[in-house]
Structure 1
Amino acid sequence: MGKPRRRQAGEGGISEYETKAGRRFLIKFTVQREDGTRRVVLKRGFLSRRDAAAALRAEIRKAEVGEWVEPSKQRLDAYLAEWIKGQRLSPSTLSSYRKNIRLHIDPYLGEQLVARLTGSAVDAWMRKLEASGRADGQGGLSARTVRYVFTILRSALSDAVSQGRLAVNPTDRSTAPTPSEARPPEMKAWTAPELARFLGWAEAYDPDLAIGWRLLATTGMRRGEALALRWRDVDLDAARLAVRRSVGVVKNKGAGEELVEGPTKTGQARVVDLDAGTVAALRRYRTVRGLLTLELVRDSALVLSELDGAHRHPERFSRRFAGQLLRARRALGEEQLPVIRLHDLRHTHATLLLADGVPVKVVSERLGHASATITLTVYQHVHPGMGRQAANRFAALLEG
């Protein structure tokens, strides 16, 4: 077998060297940087001359068309700290990203160079999170959480590719938990009698909080939307309210937490019609509050505020619901009220309407979903029964 053809200038070169593991090959080629200077690049570790030749051709081709990216010497933790500062996100989302980077990315991958992060390293990191990633040391993270953290890393590295710091995104070569594996906790909903039973009990037990439970159940609002509602957003004569904003908890390490108002989840305002019972309950509630102080019923005042006019804390609001539900179950009988979360009042609203035949588009608009497709996906558990009703109605048409 003859010697390999000598490469011409600009074609790069391939060299052979010995390691403890055996013979290996390296490639050498020259590229031009953005500033016009030239740099000689070496890449080692190829198992065969054929592999080295293929890699060399690919690198030369990228250099010729301007796609070659100079490897970054920046560590991942430093890059993420720089990246997060440039993100245009809501305060609560920004806080969540920072927390997850600090707890679940930096301790595992932070010391690695951005340019040397591989798909297999990302896979190993996710499997470690699943096995033992909880910050309290009590086991692994759920598939849903791992997928969420993965999307943060994927977004950051996609920006690195766009900025020319990386040639390819290593997360493209890794396997995150699938959407089906990362399903949210099982959705629960009350029946209409169960909801009426609880609201009746709550109204008698604590009217000040009961109006909050009623608003969530009869409008389908999200917790943060209800807690950001102001009296100027409520038109009792027209029996409707406008959902324009949401309040959330922003936690910053070393700086405590604060409640921050921002746009709704979709960034869009919406109008929700109210039933007569909820309008009457709101009138009673506003009258009682006005007797305490007129400050609580001014147009700018929060509907569901604390007695000092401040926002109710969203997480404490959820805990208050859980506590009241526990008391209601003791008073009415545990079999009368299944355990649900506060957010499940929203699910109850949607489920009852869909099961009663209200068009998906109407329910979607009340919930503030970005599209009716989301409503169909989230509440697909309701559809089998609706499909059976449709089949029976069609059969009745044929028989009639």
Structure 2
Amino acid sequence: MKGHFYRRGCKCKKKKCTCGSKWAFTIDIGIDPITGKRKQKTKSGFNTEQEAEAAAAALIHEVNEGTYLEESDKTFSEFTIEWLPIYSDSKDVKPGTIRVRLHEIGKLLPYFAQLKLKDITRKMYQDALNDLKEQGYSDSTREGINRTGRMIFRKALELELIKKDPTEFAYVKKDKKTIEQLEEEEVPKYLEKEELALFLETAGIHGLEHDDLVFLILAYTGIRVGELVALKWKDVDFKNHTISITKTYYNPNNNALEYQLLPPKTRKSRRKIVVDEDVINALKEHKKVQNKVIEQLGNDYYNQDFIFAKMERQFGYPIVIKNVRDHMKRLLKIAGLNEDLTPHSLRHTHTSLLAEAGVSLEQIMDRLGHTDDQTTKNVYLHVTQEMKKEASQKFSELMRSLR
């Protein structure tokens, strides 16, 4: 394989170099498939000729073995722009997930934006993760950022833009937590049955537009608020008392006119839920009221069959998720309940009450549209463990009464 060694930039006319120029090499590495001309590789910066010869020998070995890779000069910022549509198309990713990935890329850009992919080392990447921790980002946030970083560099490796993946051995540092902190994190907050009754009563008395029916259905079905807002009348089977979950609502800008209806969160999320007669009756009453509004407004009503359609402004458009959250916070305050709870807390509440009623974890998972959700398992175990303790206490009391 042809090549030569030389001192790069040396202007010394004497045989012995006195200007301190570094050694370099230029060697042939094959034929350009497009032009048919020979391809050459030049590398410099070696202190001695022996170092240059050793590096050239290693390169020649890679070329002969077919393992040589010409790393790209693309910067991290440039490649992330290319990676995002590849990621989106290959996995049929929902818009909400794309927004999350963009947010996580934004956290990595201050460290790597203008650096070439090939120049980013394992230490640099680990230092970035450690610095994010020092800035106060939570474990889950940093895990998400690391997950996105891994996908980006693995794709660069797959496309043969880099030789090594700097994220390969990276880890997310976590603080050791007390038992109390772990217990508090593992079991999410939810309403006890007496609190739920009070909350629903408050919604019936003090609720704003749709509040009583919205929170009744969330509490009685455990569906996600995005699934609720997307519901249409065709999804309700009044005869068999079921509600079909076939889509979810997406509207990151909270503009009622600019919503999207997307497939459910997961394949398992597409399901049919059996509901109580009280829910069916409440839906029937709501439909009567809505039909009167549609009749009065005529063409001014955006009639797309939505159950929870706006009746004050932007008539007929589905209500916005943010409004459901705000309305819940208002009602919790009126009822004197925990204002930190969210519509998703009603999903956990539904889980806890089903567990208390003796429904199996498998049936609860199926109803909620889960394949494997640790949070749901934690709520279920918490409730059932409390029931076991209660049973044990009752047994002890019974035995003491016999003495």
Fold similarity call, TM over 0.5: yes
Match of 1:175 among 146, 171, 175: 171
Distance in 1 between residues matched to 2:381 and 2:24, nearest whole Å: 56
CA change 1:100–1:306 in 2 (3 A) is farther
- Deviation of the 1:244 alpha carbon: 0.5
Distance in 2 between residues matched to 1:80 and 1:286, nearest whole Å: 48
Match of 1:351 in 2: 352
> Is the 2:24–2:45 contact (alpha carbons within 8 Å) kept by the matching residues of 1?
yes
Q: Which runs of 5+ in 1 are unaligned?
A: 1-8, 16-23, 133-139, 394-400
2:212 corresponds to 1:210 = yes
CA change 1:170–1:378 in 2 (3 A) is farther
Match of 1:363 in 2: 364
Match of 1:320 among 317, 327, 335: 327
Query: What is the SS of the residue equivalent to 2:260?
Result: strand
Query: What is the SS of the residue equivalent to 2:167?
Result: helix
> Is the 2:251–2:260 contact (alpha carbons within 8 Å) kept by the matching residues of 1?
yes
CA change 1:383–1:111 in 2 (3 A) is farther
- Deviation of the 1:266 alpha carbon: 0.3
Query: What is the SS of the residue equivalent to 1:343?
Result: helix
- Deviation of the 1:110 alpha carbon: 0.7
Q: Which moved more, 1:171-180 or 1:216-225?
A: 171-180
Query: What is the SS of the residue equivalent to 2:317?
Result: coil
> Is the 2:256–2:319 contact (alpha carbons within 8 Å) kept by the matching residues of 1?
no
**Cα RMSD for the two superposed structures:** 4.2
> Is the 2:198–2:335 contact (alpha carbons within 8 Å) kept by the matching residues of 1?
no
2:147 corresponds to 1:147 = no
CA change 1:121–1:259 in 2 (3 A) is farther
Distance in 2 between residues matched to 1:274 and 1:215, nearest whole Å: 9
Match of 1:302 in 2: 306
For the pair shown, which has the larger CA radius of gyration, 1 or 2?
2
Counterparts in 2 of 1:78-97, with a 5 A limit?
78-86=78-86, 87-88=88-89, 89-97=93-101
Q: Which runs of 5+ in 2 are unaligned?
A: 8-21, 395-403
Distance in 1 between residues matched to 2:228 and 2:4, nearest whole Å: 65
- Deviation of the 1:210 alpha carbon: 1.7
CA change 1:370–1:58 in 2 (3 A) is farther
Query: What is the SS of the residue equivalent to 1:170?
Result: coil
Distance in 1 between residues matched to 2:2 and 2:382, nearest whole Å: 63
- Deviation of the 1:388 alpha carbon: 5.8
Deviations 1:146-166 (A, max 9, x none): 211221121111111111112
Distance in 2 between residues matched to 1:39 and 1:110, nearest whole Å: 29
Query: What is the SS of the residue equivalent to 1:157?
Result: helix
Match of 2:159 in 1: 163
Match of 2:132 among 109, 129, 133: 129
Query: What is the SS of the residue equivalent to 1:215?
Result: helix
Query: What is the SS of the residue equivalent to 1:71?
Result: coil
Deviations 1:33-55 (A, max 9, x none): 88485443648689xx99x97x9
Distance in 1 between residues matched to 2:376 and 2:308, nearest whole Å: 27
Deviations 1:269-328 (A, max 9, x none): 110110122122222222222222257999941111212111222223212211221122
Q: Which moved more, 1:170-179 or 1:285-294?
A: 170-179
Q: Which moved more, 1:337-346 or 1:186-195?
A: 337-346
Match of 2:16 in 1: none
- Deviation of the 1:375 alpha carbon: 4.4
- Deviation of the 1:59 alpha carbon: 6.0
- Deviation of the 1:95 alpha carbon: 2.4
Normalised by the length of structure 1, the TM-score is 0.75
Distance in 2 between residues matched to 1:91 and 1:153, nearest whole Å: 19
Counterparts in 2 of 1:231-380, with a 5 A limit?
231-250=233-252, 258-268=258-268, 269-294=270-295, 300-307=304-311, 308-329=315-336, 334=337, 339-371=340-372, 375-376=376-377, 379-380=380-381
> Is the 1:190–1:338 contact (alpha carbons within 8 Å) kept by the matching residues of 2?
no
Count of equivalent residues: 357
Query: What is the SS of the residue equivalent to 1:293?
Result: helix
Counterparts in 2 of 1:7-156, with a 5 A limit?
31-32=29-30, 35=33, 37-40=38-41, 42=43, 62-86=62-86, 87-88=88-89, 89-101=93-105, 103-132=106-135, 140-156=136-152
Distance in 2 between residues matched to 1:217 and 1:256, nearest whole Å: 24
- Deviation of the 1:142 alpha carbon: 1.7
Distance in 1 between residues matched to 2:363 and 2:3, nearest whole Å: 64
